[in-house]
Chain A
Amino acid sequence: MSVAPVAAPDDGSLLRAVASGDPQAFAVLVERYQASFFRLAARTVGDEREAQDCVQLAFFRIFRKARDYRPGLPAAPWLYRILTNACVDAWRRRRHEVLVAEPHVGATRPADAATRIDLAAALARLPTQTRVVLLLHAMEGLSNAEIAAIRGVSVNTVKTQIARARKQLRALLGEERR
């Protein structure tokens, strides 16, 4: 007697199951997205502890709002929107905290900054919106249309922001190497 292989449920089916109160379906979604969410959050907010908070808050919102997901629409952008919203909001809060803690931020730079490429530092200097768009593109391989839907901008804006991010990073990294 052979057992027919069971196809893994797609994200949309899982979200519908979460909406109807299925805790197993939620656990599968968490398992499936936790690593991707974490690396994206860590690069967006530039701090791993903060990234863990963002991912947890995002999953909490996914759990509460699964009912709002409309079957038939692509699920991944729906999920990534909630995550990037949590990261952007964390950045809003954190930026103020940094200003309070370090009123002279920017006045001095660490000595090793000139000799090595500090990815986090380079990314942190991009505008929030540009950084999120670049990371969705470069790390998660999402299409311009998906990114446009996630961040609520036009496809042309996404293209412009990716190009601008590349240019700014080139300039920043060139500056780091001098």
Chain B
Amino acid sequence: MNTSAYDILSRDLQTEAPVPPIGFDREILAFVRDTERALAAVPRIDLAATRAGISRIAIGRGRTDADDGAARRICERARAELDEFFAGERGFFTVPIDLSSTAPFQRSVLESARGIPLGEVRSYQWIAERIGRPGAVRAVGTALGRNPIPLIVPCHRVVRSDGSLGGYAFGLDLKRHILLLERGILGLVGDRSRRVVCRTGCPRERALREDRRVAFASIDDARAAGYAPCPECSS
């Protein structure tokens, strides 16, 4: 009985395979064309930093506001990482941030948003519960709307419980665009020659040719396949 159940499954895999919707090829071509166009429109970003880290990010003219050399170097590093992010080649940020100008409630909201993994979304309610203020959904929305360091603190990964986008200080088009961009960035990439798994954006990962890349769903999956976490980037 068990064997025949497996035989049915094997047969189903062959004969009852899902078929794509009519016109899917045209949809794919349109998606590729539109995404190319969207990714080419990278916003110009103004940055400010203290010695402790990036303190402000805004859509602007590409200006840098830094008091001294240390702050300027932080801005340069952030700009390089943001450029890689918008090119779809970085899935995490290493540049330090400075949230000292924010009040404790807002800081806890922003820290909570930082815990949402690349390419995923959570609801405003989820954040409210995470910080132990389940009734403060509206205040969570306000705190995220005033996020001084968007992109690096990924407030764009917070959406409404019904799946609609909610708000975004940089505009909903950009929120949609960034979420799309992130879905195209692999979270964990294994190097099949060296059997090491990295996060997208690690220098080792960026040097990888396409035919050496293997995605994994978790570090545990990678370990089970014989891949060791990269000492440089894996958390």
Measured CB to CB, the closest approach of chain B to A72, in angstroms, equals 12
Instruction: Assess whether B28 is in contact with A85, with CB atoms less than 8 Å apart.
Output: no
Instruction: Assess whether A68 is in contact with B24, with CB atoms less than 8 Å apart.
Output: no
Instruction: Assess whether B28 is in contact with A69, with CB atoms less than 8 Å apart.
Output: no
Most chain-A CB neighbours within 10 Å: which of B24, B32, B36, B215?
B215
With A and B bound together, what is the CA distance between A139 and B210 in angstroms?
A: 24
- Residues of B in contact (CB 8 Å), total 57
Taking Cβ atoms with an 8 Å cutoff, the residues of A that contact B are 26-27, 30-31, 34-35, 38-39, 42-43, 48, 51-53, 55-57, 59-61, 63, 65, 68-70, 73, 78, 81-82, 84-86, 88-93, 95-97, 100, 117, 119, 122, 127-129, 135, 138-139, 149, 151-153, 157, 166, 169-171, 173-174, 176-177
Instruction: Assess whether A38 is in contact with B6, with CB atoms less than 8 Å apart.
Output: no
Measured CB to CB, the closest approach of chain B to A158, in angstroms, equals 11
Q: Mark B82-102, 1 if CB is under 8 A from A, else 0.
A: 000000000000000000000
Most chain-B CB neighbours within 10 Å: which of A92, A95, A128, A157?
A92
Question: What residues of A have a CB within 8 angstroms of the CB of B12 in the complex?
Answer: 117, 119
Instruction: Assess whether A38 is in contact with B13, with CB atoms less than 8 Å apart.
Output: no
Taking Cβ atoms with an 8 Å cutoff, the residues of B that contact A are 1-3, 5-6, 8-10, 12-14, 16-21, 24-25, 27-29, 31-32, 35-36, 117, 119-123, 126, 183-184, 186-190, 192, 195, 209-218, 221, 224-227
With A and B bound together, what is the CA distance between A122 and B31 in angstroms?
A: 32
Question: What residues of A have a CB within 8 angstroms of the CB of B121 in the complex?
Answer: 97
With A and B bound together, what is the CA distance between A86 and B213 in angstroms?
A: 11
Measured CB to CB, the closest approach of chain A to B179, in angstroms, equals 11
